[in-house]
Structure 1
Amino acid sequence: MAQAHGGGYYVPHHSYWPLVTSIGLFSTGLGAGGYLQGLGWGPYLLGLGLAIIIGVFFGWFGSVIREGRAGLYNDQVDISFRWGMIWFIFSEVMFFGAFFGALFYARMLSIPWLSGDDPATSKFLWDAVSLNWPTAGPGLTDLEFEPMGAWPLPTINTMLLLASGVTVTIAHHALKDRERAKLVLFMWATIALGTVFLFLQGFEYYEAWAHMNLKLSTGIYGSTFFMLTGFHGLHVLMGTIMLIVITLRCMSGHFSPEHHFGYEGVVWYWHFVDVVWLGLYIFVYII
């Protein structure tokens, strides 16, 4: 049984959720790899993995919410939650850092080398090729596509996310000041801004595929563009869902000015999403 030992650290009961989560993540990763390789079982395994992860969200997070509402967590547990969220966000920084690194390597190193800055690389791999960013790559020099500019949709989306960072901060201060009506109002405003961002990004993708011949298969430019912006869009979707859940909990009175890390962790995550987008806006759309 779960218990808190004499005001000490909370010791949870045995849980099968970590094992289920591992199965879901493994299935999702393997299924995604199979889908990208064109294997018939890939989409089915990917869907199964995602379904398992969604089930984990409801089950595992629900258990944590119930335990927190029951008063089982003390200040030491709260510190553990905070460190856990910090390391999670750090892992996300490393995740996006890998894709930004791939973009930097392609633009600043590979293209100059293949275009003659490194004679050995240029001569023996792609002799007499001349590349400038944006490009699909040396093997796709005849491919015609239009790169995605910063105006209008990416700029509008930047303003939306910056505004959402302001509204969620106002909501946080309202929580600390016990102003529930103001808290709920600005939380729903944040959710609305995130939702509009997602719709506009979806429209941007439609324009890219339908009218600009810009696809995931459009060489190095298309792959880096869609991997960076696509994974960020996925994080915005996850963050929006988290905001909806936490807003419903705010409406139910689950948080107080003294105890609200469940809320605060979501705010941290949303600010991280904002910062990543600023990097995308600068290095993918502008430079």
Structure 2
Amino acid sequence: MSAAMYFNGYANGDVVAEGSFMGNHTFAVQKGLNLGVALFIVRIDPLNPFEIPLLNTIILLSSGATVTYAHHSLIQGNRKGVLLGIILTVILAVIFTGLQGLEYYEAPFTISDGAYGSTFFFATGFHGLHVIIGTLFIAVAFFRILSYHLTDHHHLGFESSILY
């Protein structure tokens, strides 16, 4: 590209450069961009946030409570509480993952439906992957607790899985 196509290190097509440095975002352009965003939002049939998304939020918050219960039980030497807390946490994580799969299946849009679809599936997909990895991490800690590898003073792997 020629030097004329850049302004302060930004390509001429860059929205930041156009609006901030080049002064190309006049009132009429700003109004058009706002209308474009509004039309984009109106044309997508988004998910109802009071259905699966709300349920999954409740499940995630509950799993935080159950894993905290398991951790405190381990510190207090309550083996039964540790096992119950971890089992409940893993069950909640599996339910969350299943509901996210159902949400994907029932979504009225796809990943190829523009910015909304690709952003939705990218963000929720990476979060879902995070939950799956965390579930595996906690499951490993569960088997280590079953095998008496972790104690009230020696459980770094379990703490790491909680922090993850």
Q: By how many angstroms is 1:132 displaced?
A: 3.1
Q: Larger radius of gyration, structure 1 or 2?
A: 2
- Relative to the length of structure 2, the TM-score reads 0.78
- State whether residues 180 and 251 of structure 1, in contact with CA within 8 Å, keep that contact through their aligned partners in structure 2: no
- Superposed CA RMSD: 2.7
Q: By how many angstroms is 1:175 displaced?
A: 0.4
Q: Distance in 1 between matches of 2:40 and 2:64?
A: 34
- State whether residues 134 and 221 of structure 1, in contact with CA within 8 Å, keep that contact through their aligned partners in structure 2: no
Q: Distance in 1 between matches of 2:116 and 2:122?
A: 10
Q: Deviations over 1:112-145 (max 9, x none)?
A: x7xxx9239949xxx7882235727xxxx9xx54
Q: By how many angstroms is 1:245 displaced?
A: 1.1
Counterpart position of 2:3: none
Counterpart position of 1:118: 25
Counterpart position of 1:193: 92
Matched, 1:257 2:115: no
Q: Percent identity?
A: 38
Q: 1:122 to 1:180 in 2, by over 3 A?
A: same
Q: Secondary structure, in 3 states, of the residue corresponding to 2:37? A: coil
Unaligned 5+ segments in structure 1 are 1-108, 270-287
Q: Distance in 1 between matches of 2:57 and 2:25?
A: 38
Matched, 1:224 2:123: no
Counterpart position of 1:150: 49
Corresponding letter in the other structure for 2:110: K
Corresponding letter in the other structure for 1:259: H
Q: Deviations over 1:194-229 (max 9, x none)?
A: 000000000000011xxx1x1111111111111111
Q: Deviations over 1:10-69 (max 9, x none)?
A: xxxxxxxxxxxxxxxxxxxxxxxxxxxxxxxxxxxxxxxxxxxxxxxxxxxxxxxxxxxx
Matched, 1:132 2:37: yes
Q: 1:260 to 1:191 in 2, by over 3 A?
A: same
- State whether residues 171 and 187 of structure 1, in contact with CA within 8 Å, keep that contact through their aligned partners in structure 2: yes
Corresponding letter in the other structure for 1:266: S
Q: Distance in 2 between matches of 1:201 and 1:259?
A: 35
- State whether residues 216 and 226 of structure 1, in contact with CA within 8 Å, keep that contact through their aligned partners in structure 2: yes
Q: 1:240 to 1:121 in 2, by over 3 A?
A: farther
Corresponding letter in the other structure for 1:153: I
Q: Which has the higher contact order (CA 8 A, sep 6+)?
A: 2
- Relative to the length of structure 1, the TM-score reads 0.46
Unaligned 5+ segments in structure 2 are 1-14
1:175 aligned to which of 49, 52, 74: 74
